[in-house]
Each structure stands twice: as C-alpha cells, then as structure tokens.
Structure 1
Amino acid sequence: MSGPILEALIRANLALALAIVAVMLLRRPVRRRFGPLAAYVLWLAAPLCALVSLVPVHAPTTVMAPAVEFAATAARTVAPAAAKAPALATIVFILWEIGVALAFALFAIRQARFVRAVGRLTPLDDNRAVLRGEHVDAGPLVLGWLRPRIVVPADFADRFEGEARALVLAHEDVHLRRGDATINGLVVALQCLCWFNPLVHLAAKALRVDQEIACDAAVIERHPHARRLYAETLLSTVLTVNTAPLGCHWPAAGPPPLKERLTMLNAASLTPLRRKAGLALVVLVASAAAGAVWAANPAPALEPAVITRPDWAQKPTADDLARFYPADAAAAKAGGRATISCTVAVAGNLENCRVLRQSEEPYAFGEAAIQLSQIFRMQPQTLDGKPTAGGKVTIPILFSVPK
C-alpha cells in the first residue's frame, strides 16, 4: 500500500515543482501587464497540476488470455523470507508520515503562540464584527481559518484615524470576501504534506505577497484618490516577523514585501477590459498546464480477463509427473503441493512462471512444478483472427508418490 502512495506523492511533487517554477517566473510580468489579481490567480496552476497528476490516463481496452486453474487443490502458504523484511518503500513512507506529523505540530505551535501573544480579544465599541487585541503589535489581520475574524491592535483607534482606518478595514474585508484565510489554510496543509519540498515553502511566501498586493489593488480601485494615504498608512505600520500561519496580515513581514506593495501603488491603473482579459488568459494557461500534466500521466495497468472455461490443448500426464518428481521426496514416499503463476504466450505455451506457494516439507515441489509448466499448452485465444496473449495462469498441482 505504501508503494503506490509514495509513487503518487513523487509524481504530484514533480508536477507541483514545475508549476511553481513557472509561476515564480511569470508572476511579476503578469502583474505588470494584467494586474495583481491575475498574478494571484496564477497560483491556481500549481495545486491544479499536482491534482491532475494523480488522475490516471484512460487506457485502451484489450482482450487478454484467460486466467485458469489446472486443479482445485488447496495448499498452505509459505511466506518468502524477503517479504518478512521491511521494504524500503515502507520505511520511506513511515519517514514521510513522521515528517507530516512534525510539520503539522510546528504550524500548530506557531499558531498557538501567535494567538496567545495577541491576548484577550474584545469587540470594538463602534464595530462589533472587529476584535481588538491586548497588545499594540497584534494586527491588523484576519485571524483563523474555519471562522476567520478581523483582529486589530490595542491602539487601533489612536494609530489609524478617519479615512486611514476605513482603508485598513476595507483591506481586511477584501480578505474575508475572497476567502483568503481558507486559501492560506489549504497552503499550510500542502506545506505539511510536502514538507520535504523546499519549493512549496518558497511558493507559500510568494503567494502571501501576491495575496496582499491583490487586496491593496482592490482597495485602491474603490478609493483611487487615497493612494498616497494608503501608502503612508502602510509605512506607519509596525513591521513584525511573527506571523500566524492561519491568517492574513496587513503589516508586511519585512522590507522586501513592503517595497513590492508600494511599487504597485505607484503603478498606473489598468482598464477593466484588460484585467478581465488577464484573468481569462491566466485561467487558460493554468488549464493548459494541467492538461499537459494529465497527458503525461502513466496509463493504469490492465488486469487479465478471466475465462471460466479454459481450453487446454496439452496437459502433463502421470508419466510427466513421475519424471519431474523430486528424487528425495520419492525416496521418502512423501507427497506435496505447489502453485505456480505463469503468463500465456501467443502460441499458448507458458512463460515467466514463478512459485506462489508450496508445501512446507523440505522437498523441491515448487521447482518440479516449474519444470512441468513446459508441458502445458493452451488453445490460443483470438480476437479478429489475431492471437491474444499476456493473461495470467494460476496452476495448483498435487504431487502424489509415483507407483
């Protein structure tokens, strides 16, 4: 079970990494030409490519040779020695699970510390939907995931007055209406699942920046006369390195993101038609990338069809059984059982045979069954006059002491 999961995880991370690299290269040019919202929506391509990498390509249906049994004889199963040792895939899967648990715990600790640092939350007197923290560096931000709320610092009324206060609240309201808190929660979940992929953590930081710039653009679009005041309000905000994993922050986490946001405020406004065209182009590019990833997915393996009435052309006789009977078992007058699995060739003969199980007695009944497989012949199955092959044959054989 761990093998297929690891294979899917590796495939999804390869698709995710390629999409992240492409988005990181395109986000700034897209923002300049089509606006911040288009650059923010462009991040949709990364998880979309990861998801479609898990969808198998539809494989063409083919008719396979029958899976049959030569004898209905039960046999005790002997587990191979190699199966008892832990497989490498299982060890890697366990390490991945431990990493996911540790990453989740780390994010949970960071969130709990931030919430504890904010202190007791009380509603504002003039706006009960906004909560005020106990400290001056607690926000403004949207805090939470399932039920996000706007949280402002203790000195919010003194630090932000008049129109500046309305601009800050408008920014946080855009976060709430767009569902950015939910998006950030999904990003954290992806960081936990892909804790070993550094590109995922780098993309999470860049996405947060594009998210804030897109909110800035939405506020300026509604208040085009307030660009200068909005920039001054950003500059007067207390910069902090402590951020909540589940939250959308008004203050920047450092000078570089703040510089990007101020640069956007000085950019010329785009026409509504150009912004819509940019969004349509971004969605088209994301869909095309996802389609390319899906087309590169491996096709699922086909299972052989089962035919309940096989047509044997040749089967071993009693003389054949006696000829390949283990000598030591014959001397001890001991019987046994063995079950083999083979592939049916085009001509009806058996190939690629292997022992599934055999008696626990110290006699080579499995090897004898492999030698008997050379005698079996099956009537070739045909489809439109052409032979079909590749089916699996299961043959349990009972060995009785030769007379």
Structure 2
Amino acid sequence: MISLVINVMLPLTLLCAAILLLHRPLQARLGAHNIYTLWVSVPLVLAGTVLGQLAPARLDSPSLEQLQHYRVLAGELLFQGDNPTLKMILAGIWMLGSLTLLAALLYQAILLKRLSNRAEDIELPHASIQCPLSLTRREPSMVIKRHPDIDSPMLAGLLRPVILVPMTFEQLSPSQQTAVLSHELKHLSRHDIAANLFGYLLASLFWFNPVCWLAYRRFRDDQEIACDAEVTQKMDKQQRIAYSQTLLAYSQQAQLGMLHTHYGNKTILKERIMQLKKSHTKRPLAMLGLALTMGLSGALINQSAVAGGKHHDEVKAPSPVMRIEPGYPTEAAKQSIEGYVQLQFDIDKQGKVSNVSVIESSPADVFDAEAVKALSQWRYEASDKGVSQAKVQLDFMMSAPKAELERIRITAG
C-alpha cells in the first residue's frame, strides 16, 4: 500500500501544483464555473495512475518474444533505504497520520449529527425555493433548521442533508433568504458534500504532502465561488449588492468542515465579492475534455515506474495484466551486483501463475528467491486453455540503460 501511495503521489502533486500556480490567470480568463470543473482532473489522474500501476499490459500492449524480458531496478530499494526496520517505521508513521485524520472526520460527523438533531425546524414562507432533490420519498422539500451555535448557513450531512441556519437568519429580507438557500441547494444538486468527503480522504492519504492540503483548501474555496456565480448569474446589480451584503454578514465563519459547506468565510470574502462583478460563459464540455486529458496522463507518467521495461519482438506471448515488483536483494544492491533470472511457469484458465521454476540465473542463487516470489503473484489474461511452460526473464539492474545505447541480442541456432 505504501509503495502505491508513493507512486501515485508524483503525478498527483504535479497536477495540484500546476492548478495552484496557474489558478489566478485561469480564473481571470475562464471564470469560477470552469475552474471548479477543472478539479475533476484530480480523481481522473488518480484513477489513471492506479490503472497504470496495476494493469500496465493493457495500456502498453506490444508484441512480445517467447522469452519475455522485464527490468527490475534497484532504484526504488535504494530510495526507500536498506533497513527493513526503517521501512516499517515510516509505514507506521504514515498509517498513524491517516488514521488520526479519519478519526477527526468521524468525530466531526458525530458532532454535526448531534447539532442537527438539536436544531429546530423553521418555515420560511417568503423564500420561494424550488428544491431540486428530496431527502426521502416522504419529504417533498428540503428541511431547514436553526440553532444558536451556528454562525453561518450551511448544508450538512451526506445521506440525509439539511440546511442549518443561524438564529438571525429570519431577519434577512426575503430576497436575501432566497439567495442564501439557493446557494446551499446548488451544493446539494452538485453533490458537493460527497466531493468534499472524497477530497478530504485523498488528503488524508497524502497528509505528509503540503501541496495536497493547499489544493484541498483551494478546491473548497473554488466550490463556494462557483456556487456564488451560479446563483447570481441572472441577478441584476441591486440583487448582487444585496447578496454581497449577506456574504459580509456571515463572513465570520471560517471553519472548514469536511461534512458541511462553509457559506461564510472571511479568508476569501474579497475574492468572492470581486467575482460577483464578473461574468463568464460556462464551458463544461471543454473543461471536462481538458480534465479527462490530464487524468489520462497519469497512466503515462508512471508507466516508467512499473517493473520491467519490455523488449519488443515479433513473436506473440501471453500478456500479464498485473505484475508485482520483485524486491532487489539488499546485499546485492549494496555491492552493486546485477544479473538475471530465467523462469518457467504455467498459467491456468483464470490467468493465475503456478509451477514456477528457475531455468537459469546469473549470479546463481542471488536473485532467484525474489524472482520466484514476485512471479507467483502475477496475473495474466484469462484464456480457454491456459498456457503451459511459459518463459520470462527478469533482468536485475542497478539503473536503466541509457536510451542512446543500441542493444543487440544474438542467439545461437
């Protein structure tokens, strides 16, 4: 698990850093609607990278020679360190950090549920809101509740969402009430609570990476600004001024909740009010296309990190759909020993590997155990008859050969 997290971190960090660095010029040119849509590229790049790690053969399917060759580099071992105790300590620290953040999420969910249960229902006859979704089949409209501990309107809850408002909410004008509730209902229709939860879980996995937390914070701010743009799109100047005054009134709530929205946020108040003066055309198809392109790039970025650069030949051989990285023996890495292991094995109808045996190895008995252990966990494409006596060679190398060197293989007979 820790190795997968490390492999996924590179493309994810590059994507988040690119969005953060280009955020201001992109928002000025494209508008809040389109910038928020661009964040779809994060789960896409995550999915693309994971697929590139687990199913490299499906993304790169050249013809293979009968004795397939794969490289096993010592770079990852040397990067992680030779001491297995150190690896266990680092993995333990990572897991402890992730579990702590998940516990904080659970604690907030309990507090939010208690707050919602203690809040009292209210009816706002002047707020003409058409709810796009129902909480249950028995409830035709959105439930609105108020509580003295709430400083700013919010949409709370994942499975049974409610709108929570402060005690002073009824003192607003009918038009201001309608604007605020429309803002929260826009969160509901876009499933923003689920998006916030996914973003927090992703940040919890990469809690040691500050870029991920900066991106999560920026994503949440873009979410609010995009809702403002949606709600005020058809408002006139006076209505937008009234909406800005409502933002100012509830600007003291700066808490960033994982399971609720944060309508009032003084940290981005100026940015939100400035965005109300602007108007941009929504380009959902163009932005989704850009996000999809960025997501698919994750599979290409990490292809070089998967064990085994394959040598292409003209003879077709069974194609693995999942390869496990063999471990580079610690002592061999310390002494800069390189070598290879040729193995023979069978593949059943389900694609599972069995009967793994060593044909030849050099140096003898140095890489054999790691090669057999890894190959036994490989998975191949399912077939009607399976494959008998398939062959593969694992080349254990300290580093990849230079691309400009021409490699020629000569075989007898």
User: Is residue 254–residue 262 contact of structure 2 (8 Å, CA) maintained in 1?
Assistant: no
Tell me which residue corresponds to 1:132: 145
Provide the C-alpha distance between the structure 1 equivalents of 2:364 and 2:35, rounded to a whole number of angstroms. Answer: 57
How far the C-alpha of 1:174 sits from its partner, in A, is 0.6
Tell me which residue corresponds to 2:155: 142
Is residue 284 from structure 1 mapped to residue 289 from structure 2 by the alignment? yes
Secondary structure of 2:365's partner?
A: strand
Tell me which residue corresponds to 1:216: 228
Change (3 A) 1:30 1:352: same
Q: Percent identity?
A: 27
Tell me which residue corresponds to 2:7: 11
Q: Per-residue CA shift, 1:266-314, capped at 9, x if unaligned?
A: 22x23xxx422xx333323322222332123234556855379xxxxxx
User: Is residue 130–residue 150 contact of structure 1 (8 Å, CA) maintained in 2?
Assistant: yes
Provide the C-alpha distance between the structure 2 equivalents of 1:263 and 1:191, rounded to a whole number of angstroms. Answer: 29
User: Is residue 41–residue 282 contact of structure 1 (8 Å, CA) maintained in 2?
Assistant: yes
Provide the C-alpha distance between the structure 1 equivalents of 2:173 and 2:41, rounded to a whole number of angstroms. Answer: 40
How far the C-alpha of 1:242 sits from its partner, in A, is 3.3
Tell me which residue corresponds to 1:352: 363
Tell me which residue corresponds to 1:89: 87
Secondary structure of 1:353's partner?
A: coil
Is residue 101 from structure 1 mapped to residue 106 from structure 2 by the alignment? no
Provide the C-alpha distance between the structure 1 equivalents of 2:224 and 2:346, rounded to a whole number of angstroms. Answer: 62
TM-score between the two structures when normalised by the length of structure 1: 0.65
How far the C-alpha of 1:194 sits from its partner, in A, is 1.5
Which has the greater radius of gyration?
Answer: 1
Provide the C-alpha distance between the structure 2 equivalents of 1:161 and 1:90, rounded to a whole number of angstroms. Answer: 59
Structure 1, gaps ≥5 residues long: 67-84, 309-339, 345-349, 359-387, 393-403
- Of 28, 50, 57, the residue aligned with 1:54 is 50
TM-score between the two structures when normalised by the length of structure 2: 0.64
Provide the C-alpha distance between the structure 1 equivalents of 2:185 and 2:67, rounded to a whole number of angstroms. Answer: 64
How far the C-alpha of 1:114 sits from its partner, in A, is 5.3
- Of 260, 268, 271, the residue aligned with 1:260 is 271
Change (3 A) 1:52 1:87: farther
Is residue 25 from structure 1 mapped to residue 21 from structure 2 by the alignment? yes
Secondary structure of 2:364's partner?
A: strand
Tell me which residue corresponds to 1:306: 345
Provide the C-alpha distance between the structure 2 equivalents of 1:136 and 1:300, rounded to a whole number of angstroms. Answer: 55
Provide the C-alpha distance between the structure 2 equivalents of 1:49 and 1:293, rounded to a whole number of angstroms. Answer: 5
Letter paired with 1:102: T
Letter paired with 2:94: W
Change (3 A) 1:353 1:214: same
Tell me which residue corresponds to 1:395: none
User: Is residue 139–residue 153 contact of structure 1 (8 Å, CA) maintained in 2?
Assistant: yes
How far the C-alpha of 1:343 sits from its partner, in A, is 5.3
Structure 2, gaps ≥5 residues long: 69-82, 126-140, 309-319, 324-342, 348-355, 370-390, 396-413
Listed as ranges, the matches of 1:300-379 within 5 Å are 301=308, 304-306=343-345, 342=358, 344=360, 350-354=361-365
How far the C-alpha of 1:133 sits from its partner, in A, is 2.9
Provide the C-alpha distance between the structure 2 equivalents of 1:129 and 1:115, rounded to a whole number of angstroms. Answer: 17
Is residue 122 from structure 1 mapped to residue 120 from structure 2 by the alignment? yes
Provide the C-alpha distance between the structure 2 equivalents of 1:293 and 1:125, rounded to a whole number of angstroms. Answer: 49
Secondary structure of 2:167's partner?
A: coil
Provide the C-alpha distance between the structure 2 equivalents of 1:123 and 1:210, rounded to a whole number of angstroms. Answer: 30
User: Is residue 119–residue 134 contact of structure 1 (8 Å, CA) maintained in 2?
Assistant: no
Q: Per-residue CA shift, 1:83-118, capped at 9, x if unaligned?
A: xx9554343323222211111112333444455567
Change (3 A) 1:172 1:62: same
RMSD value over aligned CA atoms? 3.2
User: Is residue 137–residue 153 contact of structure 1 (8 Å, CA) maintained in 2?
Assistant: yes
Count of aligned pairs = 296
Provide the C-alpha distance between the structure 1 equivalents of 2:277 and 2:257, rounded to a whole number of angstroms. Answer: 29
Provide the C-alpha distance between the structure 2 equivalents of 1:265 and 1:118, rounded to a whole number of angstroms. Answer: 31
How far the C-alpha of 1:232 sits from its partner, in A, is 1.2
- Of 366, 389, 393, the residue aligned with 1:390 is 393
